[in-house]
Amino acid sequence: MRSVLTSLLSILSLASPALAGDIRLSQPIDCTLGSDCYIQNYVDTDPSSAAQDFTCGALTYNGHKGVDFALPTQADMLKPVNVLASAAGRVVATRDGMADISQKSPNAPNVSGVECGNGLVLDHGGGWTTQYCHMKRGSLIVKQGDQIERGAPLGQVGLSGRTEFPHVHIVARKDGKVIDPFNPFASKTSNACTTTPTDSLWDQPIAYQSTSLLQVGIASSEPEYAAIKAGTVLVDSLPVSSPALVVYGFAFGGQTNDIMRLTLRGPKGIVAQRDVTSTKNQAQFFNATGRKSSQSWPEGTYEAQVEIERNGIVISSMSHQIDLIP
């Protein structure tokens, strides 16, 4: 059955360009932000060894130069999902042929010097370029010298290069200098993040989402984290003979003292419930709770409900229903 997501979107970036002559960028991935994709990381605006995104938030890491438009799980990249040209331009460089393997995998290749993985660079004129990284092996449909229109497919979202989740990493540059498309006035000599951004390079507003659930489900045992990220755990039914029922929640952007509230309800009421308080900031995280049974569970519909609460306010919630069948 269908999962239902509700999230509180925090900050809205303005769509107007910062200066006359600046480039205007379109979303580089064919998906709906907040629904079937999200932004995992932003440009690091802090020139020190610390890291902050353009809102002074934690969705980045030290030295991160681009914006990561991500898919919830590895299974989602198999659909497939196209990477799109953010602006019209000429292809000036490409790379393909690298395997789609998470750097967390035991057989992950050494990607030193080719961290971008499969990808390309577009030259837009006027000193502006955009670079697209981590694309799927064999998916690039453009070649060096091609003239590309805004919104044209370039290839597909993948897992190549130095990455742990499927996404396209886009870097905007002006005269070789990295520019944060959410805050193009940001200085690299001082921390120029702001909680009230007024300019961006995007041609349409893109909401800033600090935290959100990515997947909620019910399993017959506590799932492995790697399986959740792979997208192989979610089911629509389980047998009544299942040895246990476990509700789990997978999310991004966790902050210290956030509370993940997990509830599993069945035909006879609450089966399991638990609050988990985060002890640190986490780029991605999951929690689970459940109950074992030596007898068959009642047939019928069971619902997983997961909420993330911050400072007493629910900022994201998602539910998922399954049927228990003989």
pLDDT tens digits, residue range 22-52?
899 999 999 999 999 999 999 999 999 999 9
For the chain, the maximum distance between any two Cα atoms, rounded to a whole number of angstroms, is: 70
Element (H, E) at 209: none
Name the pairing type of β-strands 207-208 and 212-219: unpaired
pLDDT at position 82 over 70 = yes
Let me know if domain 10-209 sits in CATH 3.40.228.10.
no
- Distance between CA 42 and CA 57 in Å, rounded? 10
Angstrom distance (rounded) from CA 252 to CA 210: 8
Instruction: Kindly state the average pLDDT of the residues 197-215.
Output: 92
Q: What is the pLDDT of residue 251?
A: 98
212-325: what fold? Immunoglobulin-like (2.60.40)
Domain boundaries, the chain: 10-209, 212-325
User: With left for phi above 0 and alpha for psi between -120 and 50, is residue 151 left, alpha or beta?
Assistant: left
pTM: 0.93
If you average pLDDT over every residue of the chain, what do you get?
93
Is residue 119 within 8 Å of residue 62, measured between CB atoms?
A: no
Angle at 318 between CA 165 and CA 100, to 5 degrees: 15
Convert the pLDDT of each residue in 243-301 to its tens digit: 999 999 999 999 999 999 999 999 999 999 999 999 999 999 999 999 999 999 999 99
Q: Give the amino acid at 186.
A: A
Tokens of 22: 């600046």
**Both tokens assigned to 307:** 């909420």
Integer Cα distance of 233 and 182 in angstroms: 35
302: tokens are 């069971």
How far is 18 from 174, CA to CA, in rounded Å?
A: 13
Q: What is the pLDDT of residues 86-137, one digit of tens each?
A: 999 999 999 999 999 999 999 999 999 999 999 999 999 999 999 999 999 9
Q: What is the pLDDT of residue 14?
A: 45
Dump pLDDT digits (tens) for 286-321.
Answer: 999 999 999 999 999 999 999 999 999 999 999 999
